[in-house]
Amino acid sequence: MTKTLLLLPGDGIGPEVSAVARRVAGRLINHGLPLTVEEAPFGGVSIDAHGVPLTDATLARALQADAVLMGAVGGPQWANQSYATRPEAGLLKLRSEMQVYANLRPARCFTALADASTLKRVYVEGLDILFVRELTGGVYFGEPRGVETLADGQRRGVNTHVYTSSEIRRVARVAFELARGRKHEVVSAEKANVMEAGLLWREEVQALRDAEYPDIKLSHMLADNMAMQLVKNPRQFDLILTDNLFGDILSDEAAMLTGSLGMLPSAAIGDAGRAGLYEPIHGSAPDIAGRGIANPCAAVLSLAMALRHSLGAPELAARVEAAVEAALDKGARTPDLGGTLSTVAMGDAILAGL
Ligand code: NAD
Ligand code: IPM
Ligand code: MN
């Protein structure tokens, strides 16, 4: 049964790093993987061509695919657009329509990169944290939202942070299940000290653990403290469960523990049987876009996550990850990692390892 991978290269460095992931997928296909790779417009390029970041046609193809692999979206040319039609709004709609509520963001420091982090080797060597970020709720989606002009002429901006107990429990369940394949430890982060929805988060996560996951060691940490603990002693964490906004911020922070934002892949998954959405956690990097120097590792590692979680090929996922590691072991580095290789040359090194 041939499966379908829909590639959404997007904007900025998105097409540059996606091209490397596509080459890797092509190599696997040449060696017998029954996979068809298709492409569709998404993000700023879709705004330019079709007026909206996510067309009905691209959405329909995403919902039909077995997995979707995205590059990145956004950039200064679309930043003044009204919020609802910006590239980022298309990404939120895609996540929501695909119902991928659990975003897995592994932050792993490859041995070869232990000196690439801005933190000392002694703190990051062997680091392996899995973030489970809630992805389809919270302040990203809450209503009301918008900007209004008040009677006195001031403007008032509103976003709403909101979670229901079932939204919290379904992502917590994903975290607990994954913890059973790791160290049986979960640290959940929120701001229960100042937010009602944060307290609800804490209570629901604890209640699910007590009812169904007594084998899991669960602890709770305020998100501001976690931001500090992640640089003080990051290896105290194995699996971190948190909401949409804190997960966004803390995973970017954790990326620097691995050497570069260009190293972190992600998998967004929903209920069993639904297609997953795979994307590097980095953005379109307008500051380096078009120069051919972006690190493609996060995109290639995102393909590996797609192979594992949606395409039924976990052994190939492991091979792709090993190929990235082999390239790094041989000293292959893009500039963000302190090297001089181009995106294409880094791709060559990964393919050589494959
Ligand atoms: P960014 O992640 O694009 O870049 C932050 C910094 O990291 C930049 O200095 C960039 O050069 C560097 N960087 C990121 N990825 C890299 C890579 N693969 N290799 C080497 N260096 C890399 O974040 P930003 O600049 O704050 O945002 C730019 C745009 O991207 C915004 O429009 C934002 O909304 C969007 N964005 C999109 C996604 C996504 O599509 N999933 C994620 C984050 C940000
Ligand atoms: C990410 C990005 C997105 C987010 C933006 C582009 C909508 O920062 O995937 O980390 O905030 O979720
Ligand atoms: Mn982000």
b/e code 198-227 from CB counts within 10 Å (16+ = b): bebbbebbeebbeeebeebebebbbbeebb
Flag whether 57 is in a domain.
yes
Q: How far is the CA of 202 from the centre of ligand 3 (A)?
A: 23
Flag whether 235 is in a domain.
no
Q: How many domains, in total, are found in the chain? A: 1
Q: For residue 286, what is the domain's CATH number? A: 3.40.718.10
Is the CB–ligand 1 distance for residue 107 below 6 Å? Answer: no
Is the CB–ligand 1 distance for residue 88 below 6 Å? Answer: yes
Flag whether 295 is in a domain.
yes
Flag whether 112 is in a domain.
no
Flag whether 133 is in a domain.
no
pLDDT in tens, 132-186: 999 999 999 999 999 999 999 999 999 999 999 999 999 999 999 999 999 999 9
> Ligand 2: which residue has its CA nearest to atom 11?
248
45 lies in which domain range?
1-101+270-354
Flag whether 132 is in a domain.
no
pLDDT in tens, 332-353: 999 999 999 999 999 999 999 9
Which are the contacts of 304, defined by CB distance < 8 A and separation ≥ 6?
265, 316, 317, 318, 320, 321, 324
pLDDT in tens, 2-21: 999 999 999 999 999 999 99
Pocket test for ligand 2, best of 243, 248, 266 (most atoms within 8 A of CB): 248
Considering only CA atoms, give the Rg of the chain.
Answer: 20
Structure tokens belonging to residue 24: 């890797």
Is the CB–ligand 2 distance for residue 130 below 6 Å? Answer: no
pLDDT in tens, 172-230: 999 999 999 999 999 999 999 999 999 999 999 999 999 999 999 999 999 999 999 99
Task: Point out the ligand 2 atom lying closest to the alpha carbon of residue 95.
Answer: 12
Flag whether 155 is in a domain.
no
Q: How confident is the model at residue 294 (pLDDT cuts 50, 70, 90)?
A: very high
Pocket test for ligand 1, best of 92, 261, 279 (most atoms within 8 A of CB): 261
Dump strand ranges (E) for the chain. Answer: 3-10, 35-39, 67-72, 102-108, 128-134, 142-149, 155-160, 185-190, 217-222, 239-242, 267-269, 276-278
Flag whether 167 is in a domain.
no
Tell how far CA 287 is from the center of its chain: 20
The ligand with the least distance to the CA atom of 81 is 1
Is the CB–ligand 1 distance for residue 293 below 6 Å? Answer: no
Task: Point out the ligand 1 atom lying closest to the alpha carbon of residue 71.
Answer: 40
Is the CB–ligand 2 distance for residue 91 below 6 Å? Answer: yes
Entry pTM: 0.98
The ligand with the least distance to the CA atom of 280 is 1
Is the CB–ligand 2 distance for residue 88 below 6 Å? Answer: yes
Q: How far is the CA of 151 from the centre of ligand 2 (A)?
A: 34
What's the average model confidence in pLDDT over 57-73? Answer: 98
Task: Supply the residues annotated as catalytic.
Answer: 140, 191, 224, 248, 252
Pocket test for ligand 1, best of 70, 245, 282, 340 (most atoms within 8 A of CB): 282
Contact of 166 with 201, CB cutoff 8 Å: no
